[in-house]
Amino acid sequence: QVQLVESGGGLVQAGGSLRLSCAASGIIFSINSMAWYRQAPGEQRELVARITHGGSTNYADSVKGRFAISRDSAKNTVYLQMNSLKPEDTAVYYCNADHLGRIYWGQGTQVTVSS
């Protein structure tokens, strides 16, 4: 079992920045990758960024150049630095872990960007 706890969401003005954190606990070795997804009201959940065990990253086109995913292996934590935020970034952001093919989700953290 893997437990994921997100933090760092909140209300920010357009152009501002936030950093989300996702702390993993439980059976955390052999996690293949971790990712951030988001879901806006009435929309499907979408991938924002992913980082693999080897450190490779990929991003949604809509956030490239503005968001950065990183990890601190010593703290078992993954971060999402979000800069130049836009109102369309408003969503609930979820942390995701792929552990031996099984997917785990955090409870989500709300990010609201005001115009």
Q: Model confidence at 112, in pLDDT bands (50, 70, 90)? A: very high
pLDDT per position as a tens digit, 34-54: 999 999 999 999 999 999 988
Beta bridge partners of 67: 82
Over residues 50-66, the pLDDT tens digits come to 999 889 999 999 999 99
Lowest-pLDDT range, 23-27, 29-33, 73-77?
29-33
Strand partners, 7: 21
- In tens, the pLDDT along 88-103 reads 999 999 999 998 889 9
* Contacts within 8 Å (CB) and 24+ apart, 105-108: 105/4, 106/4, 106/5, 106/6, 106/22, 107/5, 107/6, 108/6, 108/39
Average pLDDT over residues 11-38: 92
pLDDT of residue 1: 84
